[in-house]
Amino acid sequence: MDPIQSLPGTEDILPTCQWLGSDIKVAPVHTWQRVEEVARELFRRATYREIRTPCFEQTLLFERGIGTATDVVSKEMYSFRDRSDRGCTLRPEGTAGAVRAYVQHSLYAQGGVQRLWYSGPMFRYERPQKGRQRQFHQIGVEVLGSADPRADVEVIALATDLLQGLGLKNLTFYLNSVGDLHDRQRYRDALVAYLTPYQADLDPDSQHRLVHNPLRILDSKDQKTQAIVAAAPSILDYLADQSHWHFDQVQQQLAGLGIEFIVNPRLVRGLDYYSHTAFEIQSTDLGSQATVCGGGRYDGLVEALGGPATPAVGWAIGLERLTLVLEKLNPNQPASPEVYLVSRGEKAEANALYLAQQLRQAGLAIDLDLSGSAFGKQFKRADRSGAPVCLVLGEEEAAQALVQIKWLGSGQQTTLSQADLLQNPAQLRQLAQG
């Protein structure tokens, strides 16, 4: 029978690295776990609390929350009707669900600012390529209830701390302001007026966007379109005083924290609900899918989803791209067992199983050899396991309630009493290091 394959654009994250020729395809799971650990610790220090929302939601949530003119909603959603004929969609991003939960459970009623984080799989029907999948993973933060530019700076600092804390270098941080709705309306008119004479020279996607979502033309990847856009008016010339003030504050405070940035007036985010601050962090170690983190302020979203007017700001980091860079720069080893346990003979094997369980309960990482093969073969596996020491149980040791400890580096060996060992299992850790 032919084995069943995973679907295009989905990947397994394995205990070992997946390679495609000499290129890393999927980083090993311990690299993902390292990211998650560092992120959790940063979130704890900054008092962000985790929120877990469903992987699928009413289609309407994303239509309203992201906007029907966006690529995500118009082309990339996994939508289906369930058996009760409800319109459902696998979440393409995390913000809409977090905000839905915030409104549904009246989290705003607790007053003050809500700092939330999430992580999990997201789904978009895109052309699969390196750093772009149909099921991918994001980790993200949302700060709800503050219009203060310090909130923008706080979330940005959290993203840079996370990426730098993981040891990433060669990052470029692009910053822009897309103003408020009125600023954007005036800018849109100016942009359309500028682009209309070039309409025929734009790529087909951009021609379509000229009518439906002209701001998105700014980040077209088409070379000819890019050349036209290079001389387009800048949104920064259309910001009202309040929007200017906000943008200035963000820049000054970022500088105050020593966070370097490049203002890029062509940076617009793909989702409709952004206002004021928009940003992206790119890595030059990634090739064409270079954006690791995208985020910004979305003051209109909570209200658009039926909640009270609530300013908010957040970001999402793509974990496929992040773990790829990390693995490339700094491949790290999975944790080795602390002890490898070998045994041979019926009594000894039963004894070893008991010892392993006791030592595991005491907190030690024990790799128990289950092969039943000759000691020589078991020792070879012990060497490969990376454990510093091996415990050896033969029939004789089992009969006398003893166990041999063997240092795998030096081959040195000595005998311990099992009773002694179990009374103070932590001595094993000291012995292993000694």
Residues that bind ligand ATP (CB under 6 A): 93, 124, 126, 131-133, 136, 138, 270, 289, 291-294, 316, 318, 320-321
Shortest Å, Cβ 381 to ligand ATP: 37
Tell me the chain's radius of gyration from C-alpha atoms: 28
Q: Check residue 47 and give left, alpha or beta (phi > 0: left; psi -120 to 50: alpha).
A: left
Tokens 């850790």 belong to residue: 429
Query: Residue 10 or residue 234: which is nearer to ligand ATP going by CB?
Result: 10
Q: Which residue is nearest to ligand ATP (CB)?
A: 318
Shortest distance, position 314 Cβ to ligand ATP, whole Å: 10
The first and second tokens of residue 399, run together, are 């009969």
What is the nearest approach in angstroms of ligand ATP to the Cβ of residue 320?
Answer: 5
Nearer to ligand ATP, 313 or 359 (CB): 313
User: Among candidates 353, 356, 359, 391, which has minimal Cα distance to 375?
Assistant: 391
Q: How far apart are CA 38 and CA 40, in angstroms?
A: 6
Query: Shortest distance, CB of residue 76 to ligand ATP, whole angstroms?
Result: 8
CA angle 21, 24, 28 (to 5 degrees): 130
Comparison of 48 and 123: residue with beta carbon closer to ligand ATP: 123
Q: What is the rounded distance in angstroms from the CA atom of residue 245 to the CA atom of residue 249?
A: 6
Nearest approach, Cβ of residue 270 and ligand ATP (Å) = 4
Return the number of the residue (53 or 133) whose C-beta is nearest ligand ATP.
133
Which residue's entry shows tokens 């910053």? 175
Nearer to ligand ATP, 93 or 367 (CB): 93
| Cβ nearer to ligand ATP, comparing 292 with 359 | 292
CA 266 to CA 227: how far, in whole Å? 12
Q: Which is nearer to ligand ATP, 9 or 386 (CB)?
A: 9
Q: How far is the CB of 349 from ligand ATP (least distance, A)?
A: 47
What span, in angstroms and rounded, lies between the C-alpha atoms of 108 and 99?
Answer: 10
Shortest CB 105 distance to ligand ATP, Å? 25
Of 42 and 293, CB closest to ligand ATP: 293
167/287 with CB nearer ligand ATP: 287
Tokens matching residue 368: 């128990």
Contacts of 74 (CB under 8 A, 6+ apart): 68
| Smallest gap from residue 123 Cβ to ligand ATP (A) | 9
CB of 287 to ligand ATP, least distance (A): 12
Of residues 292 and 393, the one with the C-beta less far from ligand ATP: 292
Closest approach, Cβ 55 to ligand ATP, in A, equals: 15
Give the shortest CB-131-to-ligand ATP separation in angstroms.
Answer: 6
Residue 64, token pair as written in the block: 């309203």
